[in-house]
Amino acid sequence: MFNKRIRIKDLLASDKANYETTVMGWVRTFRNNQFIALNDGSTNNNLQVVATLGQFDDALLKRLTTGACIKASGEVIASLGKGQK
């Protein structure tokens, strides 16, 4: 169950993209009911998790506050922003 996850430090150090993975960590920030900055303590850097709009109900999204612990699965995509992995 837990051994299928990847640490955020290892994910950010890798140049691989376009593959499915699972990460777990604590919410640092949550913006626009869509963007979650996630950190698992393996690095000071955060991973941005993007929740598809309309996929989750409002009651669940209201529980995503700073410090909440989550498990997220999805596709790793390289950032389109300058200076970001």
Domain limits, the chain:
2-75
Phi then psi for residue 56, to 5 deg, are -120, 145
User: Under CATH, to which class is 2-75 assigned?
Assistant: mainly beta
The model's pLDDT over 23-37, given as tens digits with 9 standing for 90+, comes to: 999 999 999 999 999
User: Residue 84 pLDDT more than 80?
Assistant: no
The pTM score is: 0.88
**Percent of the chain surpassing pLDDT 70:** 96
Q: Where residue 1 falls among pLDDT bands split at 50, 70, 90? A: low
Confidence (pLDDT) at 38: 97
Confidence (pLDDT) at 2: 58
Q: How far is CA 43 from the centre of its chain?
A: 13
Q: Where are the alpha helices (H) located in 1-85, listed in sequence order?
A: 8-13, 58-62
